[in-house]
Amino acid sequence: MPQTISQKILAKHAGAKSVEPGQLINCKVDLVLGNDITAPPAIKEFEKIGVSRVFDKKKIYLVPDHFTPAKDIKSAEQVKVMRKFAHKYGIVNFFEIGCMGVEHALLPEMGAIKAGDLIIGADSHTCTYGALGAFSTGVGSTDMAAAMATGEVWFKVPEQLKFVYRGKLPKWVEAKDLILYTIGQIGVDGARYMSLEFTGPVISKLSVEGRLTMANMAIEAGGKNGIFEPDIKVFQYLKSRIKNLNSSFVIRNSALRSDPDAEYAKIYDWDVSELEPQVAYPHLPSNVHPVSKNRHIKLDQSVIGSCTNGRIEDMRVAAKILKGKKVHPDVRLIILPATQQVELRMIKEGLMEIFIKAGAAVSTPTCGPCLGGHMGILAEGERSIATTNRNFVGRMGHPKSEVYLSNVAVAAASAVLGFIGSPEDLK
Amino acid sequence: MRGHAWKFGNNIDTDLIIPARYLNTSDPAELAQYAMMDADSEWVDKMSKGDFIVAGDNFGCGSSREHAPIALKAAGVSAIIAKSFARIFYRNSINIGLPILEAPQAAEEIKEGDEVEVDLAAGEIKDLTTGKAYRAQPFPAFMQKIIDAGGLINYLKRNN
């Protein structure tokens, strides 16, 4: 039976030749992830199971990133629970402040993810790793607890959606715009329970970091996973990060592609040559409009960072716009490099100086304001543009504040303009 | 189980169910105080133990936080009836033993304040105010076993 890449990875981990949509399967997992919000309840549930060890000390990743560096006493207690658990069970991959990063930026960067892997994480944006050709999906804390004990998880095999992007991306249009446009077209439940496969000439040209941005927001369309067939760019990315990645791995996984006659519930085929930068207005990521629609949306804040857009390429785009400019006096620009490595490269490449001279505040890695945690919370009636992934009611602070989602270039340009606009408006 | 219906719309996200600013704890009783806070800040005081949430499509979309079904369960919600559920919320509810019922017609027709009776084993929903009865989508056998065990952890303990 012809299979998509997602089905092939699921089948391999279920010990089956092929799988069909709707089928319930039990899979072995290659990696289990949790953060400072989701891991503590998982640890509590894990202790109830009554096992004396975790399934694999090296395959569990614990990343305190949401409310860290601990924003208050309760948050500090949550991280303490993780730290103690990691020590008790000898879990190797616990990331203390100073080496942690935003989980979905950190794991690909450090080489923890490989093409063909099956990954679950107690965080909805675990779908990010599909960019590297892994089947990766978010679960809750109880699923995480069960997987830490057994190394297994059950799945309903999802139906498949395919997205083909053709044409040439115009200037200042980024991977973020492709995924915002996609969510705008199909809605926040357009891919509910389904697998999103991204392909086409535009995708081949996209960097691995751009693909991470796209896969990251598959959940915003309700998807179970978002995935790209691994290509030469992905294998180069993996080789530069994973020691002992041999050529047989590359050869084997180069064949990890969807069969040409695989079945899809629906195929979307778009020419994106005329696409403008996209902005998702409050309060749903699907409420998407071209940036030129309204030039009168005044801002109080701009946030550049997160698991969606906090990588070095994002920082370079922001620097290109902010070089020699000043942030608008009514706007607070907060820049959050997603990992220590990103921050280090910002310093080495001179980006840090550009940001600080422009009047931006640069923070240590944290999810921070993206989920209304800390480091840039909005007051009643305030409005922020952000390169993050959600603009739900109260997402960045007061329930009567507003979040607009955009790409990095728009968020940086808007910080200078004082209203939502594109880099073209700076001229 | 019997209680009154509280109606919510489509795409009720996990930030509405339990805002992230309260996620520095995972204590169910504490989370319960903030259930549905950003959708209706007085809801927790208005609702009674045993009441139902009746909602539209894609209930529980967004984050994977298990704190969302935990907060609703601890607040005393006996079951959620919706047209459809977001994937992770659906899994989490089954895993922690919060009854959820996918029943589009019931979700459409039941009105706020109606008295509702649910027979979980039979998958039957009755609107006692209007006298109409509805059927919920049955769970696959495997999920029913997890539900019968009282959640995933109990199911694992039983099968270990």
Identity of the residue in A24, A45, A140 whose CB atom sits nearest the CB atom of B91:
A140
Same fold? A5-15+23-247+263-271, A279-422: yes
| Nearest-angstrom CA–CA distance, B106 and B139 | 17
The fraction of chain A above a pLDDT of 90, given in percent, is 97
CB contact under 8 A, B156 and A150: yes
Chain B residues within an 8 Å CB radius of A103: none
- Report yes or no on whether pTM surpasses 0.95: yes
Give, in degrees to the nearest 5, the angle at Cα B52 between B123 and B103.
40
Determine the pLDDT at residue B140.
86
The alpha carbons of chain B give a radius of gyration, in whole angstroms, of: 15
Task: Read off the pLDDT of residues A365-405 as tens digits, 9 standing for 90 and up.
Answer: 999 999 999 999 999 999 999 999 999 999 999 999 999 99
Mean pLDDT, residues A89-103: 97
CATH of domain A279-422: 3.30.499.10
Identity of the residue in A71, A126, A394 whose CB atom sits nearest the CB atom of B15:
A394
Q: How confident is the model at residue A240 (pLDDT cuts 50, 70, 90)?
A: very high
| Nearest-angstrom CA–CA distance, A289 and A191 | 20
CB contacts < 8 A (A, B): 138
- Tell me, rounded to whole angstroms, the distance of Cα B137 from its chain centroid: 15
Looking at residue A126, its amino acid is T
Shortest alpha-carbon distance between residue B130 and chain A (Å): 31
pLDDT in tens, chain B (160 residues): 999 999 999 999 999 999 999 999 999 999 999 999 999 999 999 999 999 999 999 999 999 999 999 999 999 999 999 999 999 999 999 999 999 999 999 999 999 999 999 999 889 999 999 999 999 988 888 888 998 898 999 999 987 6
In chain A, what are the domain boundaries?
A: 5-15+23-247+263-271, 279-422
Q: Please report the ipTM that was assigned to this predicted complex.
A: 0.96
How buried is residue B141: exposed, middle or buried, by Cβ count under 10 Å (0-12/13-18/19+)?
Answer: exposed
Mean pLDDT, residues A281-309: 97
Shortest alpha-carbon distance between residue B23 and chain A (Å): 6
Which of A124, A127, A161 would you mutate first to test chain B, the one with the most B CBs within 10 A? A124
| Nearest-angstrom CA–CA distance, B5 and B7 | 6
Superfamily assignment of A5-15+23-247+263-271 in CATH? Aconitase, domain 3 (3.30.499.10)
